[in-house]
Structure 1
């Protein structure tokens, strides 16, 4: 049989395009729309310094006379026009949404990454070693599951801020928030990885690796971990939406990011204070952005769960 030339072999992009996941994505209009919305918001947030008409966090660029300007209406004093209006400080709402989404996405991605690393590590150890280590970690997980995640994140955030000097609290607020949300979400990763590890460790390829003397850490990293990542990716996608909502909730309650770096949750809290005085746009547009982002990411997670389920193929 003649060998195929390297040019005749399908490249990586061609194989990816012909994969089951790509086929499922192309035939799911809901997933395509959700992906487009997610990518649009993420790109707009990343490119905020180049897209935003104004820098809302630069006091030198603000004019209090522009405050409470309705959307698409010239200000009666300055004549300036803003697409989505301005808030009480004269900040362009469109610009604040772009910059606020950057903070919300950064906190969400970092919190999910932290929860993934912690949950996967503890899940692998519990599932592979078993015994009292497994029992201890799972009892801690069971206890944590009895508390709502947002209350647990609020508790961790409050305790962590108590150990930080007052002069450093604003500078460390975002990182404390990431740790608080991550510690409240690691359980889901740990339980799924533990169950998958308990199944994988009894298979022939793992037993063969043990027989030839492969170190347990190498077995976990190179053999078991790649085979348990499918469910983890699904949880991480849905967990990103939950982390963004958790950050928005904490910021809405006034215990999230500092006022000098407002996220979408902070913008919603500010807008809520002016809702009944007629300035509805200060609350409406950040709320729509948060809803669209969380919903699109959630829909992507639902699609990925179905795409990775062999029973639905």
Structure 2
């Protein structure tokens, strides 16, 4: 290398490969397998219109004569073949799983994003401003923690659905579901961010920002927020699995996704009605998919929590 030549800065990809996070990931088989399962399931859901043999949401493509066809067998009346069988309406279980997983993932991601935004904002305000703002926010959080999250979600869902005009209830059901799950899950984000903000606001860089006249909002967003994101990302990963399970629970109870746009929880509810009559596949495959998705995301969250914990390095 010439004397005056300036060395090139490593690329982002090179920096990522040399990071502690990448090193920990490549040496954790559970994290690798979990990530692979999540990637496969998410891609399958996103590409459902291309992968699914049938569109289960199109009544014109359904044939009731195909109902209750066992997996891997041709229907005795129509001769149609279905890899994972059909349900009572003649819908291909494989196709309904792909489309149902799209709804479950969409609701889960959206609800976690809503909970994260609300929790982070309230946590920053409580930790940095203190006083009556902190007391009010944290007392509301404490009251909400005294109730199970699923009951809070059902309460919010019932109120939101009640004020929605009847003509729009089916159209708004998914958004109401996101609102219910998101508002029932913001507390843990707020508590963690508040605790981290209480530590960060006394650091030298925050004191220096105050001395140069930075506004409180600017200090919270530009200085404190980037330094409290690590635990937020861990909570968000774990909360994603819980949000997907919460959506499935609400849909299983009949207060979630509408029957015209079934999620994994709705498919499980439909399947359990025929479990004891011998049509086991209607329940087994959606339930197995939900289990694999939630478990893989949870295991990824556990690995991320350990990888980002400096005490375990």
Q: Does 1:297 align with 2:292?
A: no
Supply the distance in 2 between the matched residues of 1:310 and 1:266 (Cα, whole angstroms).
Answer: 41
Supply the distance in 1 between the matched residues of 2:95 and 2:161 (Cα, whole angstroms).
Answer: 30
Q: Deviations over 1:57-99 (max 9, x none)?
A: 1111111111000000111111111110000010000000000
Q: Deviations over 1:87-146 (max 9, x none)?
A: 001000000000000000000000000000000000000000000110111010000000
Q: Could you say what secondary structure the match of 1:79 adopts?
A: coil
Q: Deviations over 1:216-271 (max 9, x none)?
A: 11111110000000000000000000000000000000000111100000000000
Q: Could you say what secondary structure the match of 1:69 adopts?
A: coil
* Correspondence 1:22-41 to 2 at 5 A: 22-41=22-41
Q: Deviations over 1:14-71 (max 9, x none)?
A: 0001100000000000000000000100000000000001111111111111100000
Residue 145 (structure 2) aligns with: 145
* TM-score, with structure 2 as normaliser: 0.98
Residue 252 (structure 1) aligns with: 252
5+ residue gaps in structure 1? none
Supply the distance in 2 between the matched residues of 1:128 and 1:63 (Cα, whole angstroms).
Answer: 61
Supply the distance in 1 between the matched residues of 2:168 and 2:64 (Cα, whole angstroms).
Answer: 30
Residue 275 (structure 1) aligns with: 275
Instruction: Name the Cα RMSD after superposition.
Output: 1.0
Supply the distance in 2 between the matched residues of 1:20 and 1:91 (Cα, whole angstroms).
Answer: 47
Q: How far did 1:9 drift?
A: 2.6
User: What is the number of residues matched between the two proteins?
Assistant: 312
Q: Does 1:163 align with 2:160?
A: no
* TM-score, with structure 1 as normaliser: 0.98
* Correspondence 1:1-313 to 2 at 5 A: 5=6, 8-313=8-313
